[in-house]
Amino acid sequence: MNRRLSWFNVTSLTLGFAFLYIPILLLVIFSFNESRLVTVWGGFSTKWYGEMIRNQALMDAAWVTIRVAVLSATIATVLGTLAAITMTRYVRFPGRMLFSGMIYAPLVMPEVITGLSLLLLFVAMDFSRGFWTVTIAHVTLTMCFVAVVVQSRLVTFDESLEEAAQDLGCPPAKTFFAITLPLILPAVVAGWMLAFTLSLDDLVIASFNTGPGATTLPIKIYSQVRLGVTPEINAVCTVMIAVVAVGVIAASLYTKRAQVEKEKAERAAVLQAG
Amino acid sequence: MADQSAARGPTWTKWLVVAVPYLWLLVFFLAPFVIIVKISLSQTAIAMPPYAPVFDGLATFWDNVRELSLENYVWLTDDPLYWRSYLSSLRIASLSTLMLLLIGYPIAYAMARAPKSIRPTLLMLVILPFWTSFLIRVYAWIGILKPEGLLTVALQGLGVLGPDEQVRIMNTETAVFIGIVYSYLPFMILPLYSALEKLDGTLLEAASDLGCPPVEAFWVITWPLSLPGVIAGCFLCFIPIMGEFVIPDLLGGSETLMIGRTLWNEFFSNRDWPVSSAVAVVLLVILVVPIMVFQNYQKKI
């Protein structure tokens, strides 16, 4: 499908992207508004960013959120990658159906159900709620997203490279770190990024599983949003959008470069093997 | 093929690879569902946590089973709030999924027809909002839709509204629909696009060479071939919308009933854990079939 775009195609793209981006753009623009009124433009100012940084409760929440996101994304990436290997390489093992069910179900499961059921588990285990319960909850949710991302890379992976290494006497663990991991790395990095942002953004699951001293940024934002729109919250949201946008664009550039290098490496490996 | 390369390693590494994520999911995903079912069948106790204890070991297991009661489920059928919430969620989720399909399809179609060189950029533009927080995107709409918000200012500026008039969208079901369509649009576009992109353009050329008008060619060729994407996109949106909490809570009015919100209030305001568990279990039962259909299609794509 590579023909010229009709006016209908161009209109749907323009309207579609306008719809997707205008609300976010307005939010960003009004974070630089001098006036406290959100709808009246009072001149350019960065004072709300200053207010934001001086707001200790907000900064504490941001710090908790970043710690939870980094830790949970890292654990989820390890578990998710193992799960992806399990699903692509081990065709038969007892309970495989159950396993793939448990990988796909959390992707669409309403968050209120996941959040509430995990909370009840923690209470039943007499686990005090706080930083760790939020982290575990986020690992459980995000490892499934990592698994799906890494799995889609493993499916297109040339397994003869691994077989060649093992034929030459390379132990499986070494084969994984020397051959498999470098080749699937772009997907693993993308998985980590996805897990990180999902954790950064989550309100519902965190609200159920949080405890004293573990208020995350979305919980803080939610409680303030209920009281009304303020330029300070616009500033916080703008910072979060900027972090995610820079991360996603950097990751996609990295993936593109890695793709080129991967093809080069695969060709070199084939030449060496031959 | 796959089995061979795996079988060559020592079996314990193989089992470790399977066992670690498997055990994690069993403990933190499956076990909680067993507990939620159990608690939905228990009675509210005054003690904190607000339900009678569950995990006393196997010895008391059968005693517990005898004490199970359907009281909470009876309660759900007694109070019209619950079944009205379920029905209203079903209605809102179905209608908004249909809207998402009608809006998302032309966008995905145009993306798939765009020159190959700009497709990655277009894809990036769809994915970027998808990575941005739900909460932030919903919050952005509050500033637009509220009575003294940006939409009122814009319409007053254009002369559509008089200086004293204000838009009345905030805290209505319309606002909820806008919020849902806005938040879930990337979820609909992405599977549609991946199905439409695979479509072989020569099929359409052949049809037009043989004198088939474009509209008919769409219904005979494009639509049936994009059906897996349509189904995946619809389920990917419908299932989470059913349990949506943030959007109805922030954009909807008090009369906008959705079950995710009812569950949240039952848990956080009324602190009735057994009833909120029962609400969650019933929601899960409603969603089991859609989730299984979704998994089936997820494997195929």
Q: Nearest by CB to A110, which of B32, B260, B268?
A: B260
Q: Which pLDDT band, with edges at 50, 70 and 90, does B298 fall under?
A: low
B212 touches chain A (CB under 8 A): no
Scanning every residue of chain A, which has its alpha carbon at the shortest distance from the alpha carbon of B244? A110
pLDDT over 90 for what percent of chain B?
30
d(CA A203, CA A134): 11
pLDDT, position B275: 84
Q: Which domains does chain A have, with CATH numbers?
A: 49-273 (1.10.3720.10)
As a whole number, mean pLDDT of residues B196-211 equals 83
pLDDT of residue B103: 95
Residue extent(s) of CATH 1.10.3720.10 domains in chain B: 85-300
Whether residues A109 and B239 touch (CB distance < 8 A) is answered with yes
Which residues of chain B neighbour A14 with C-beta distances below 8 Å?
A: none
Task: Look at residue B40 and tell me whether its pLDDT is greater than 90.
Answer: no
The H or E element containing residue A170 is none
- Provide ipTM, 2 decimals: 0.84
* Cβ atoms A183, A265 nearer than 8 A: yes
Per DSSP, the residues of A193-253 read: HHHHHHHHH--HHHHHH--TT---HHHHHHHHHTT---HHHHHHHHHHHHHHHHHHHHHHH
Most confident of A32-36, A111-115, B163-167: A111-115
CA A168 to chain centroid: 38
A101: which chain B residues are within 8 Å (Cβ-Cβ)? 295
Average confidence score pLDDT of chain A: 86
Which pLDDT tens digit goes with each residue over B125-140? 898 887 888 888 899 9
Q: How many CB pairs under 8 A join A and B?
A: 276
d(CA A202, CA A68): 11
Half-sphere exposure of B181 (CA within 13 A, CB side): 19
Segment among A86-90, B20-24, B26-30, B185-189 with least mean pLDDT: A86-90
Q: Which residues of A touch B169 (CB under 8 A)?
A: none
Distances (CA, A) of A149 to A85, A104, A201: 11, 12, 19
Whether residue B233 contacts residue A35, with contact meaning beta carbons closer than 8 Å, is answered with no
Q: In angstroms, what CA-CA distances link B237 with B94, B154, B206?
A: 9, 31, 34
pLDDT digits (tens, 9 = 90+) for A210-220: 988 889 999 99
Rounded CA gap, A8 and A15, in Å? 11
Residue A121 is nearest to which of B31, B127, B197, comparing CB atoms?
B31
Query: Could you say which architecture CATH assigns to the domain B85-300?
Result: Orthogonal Bundle (1.10)
State the Cα–Cα distance between residues A116 and B33, nearest whole angstrom.
10
pLDDT band at A67 (very low <50, low <70, confident <90, very high): very high
Tens of pLDDT, residues A177-196: 888 888 888 889 889 988 99
Q: Considering only the C-alpha atoms of chain B, give the largest distance between any 2 of them, rounded to a whole number of Å.
A: 78
More confident site: B257 or A274: B257
- pLDDT, residue B66, reads 57
Which residue does chain A place closest to B136, by CA atoms? A237
Q: Are B147 and B224 spatial neighbours (Cβ–Cβ below 8 Å)?
A: no
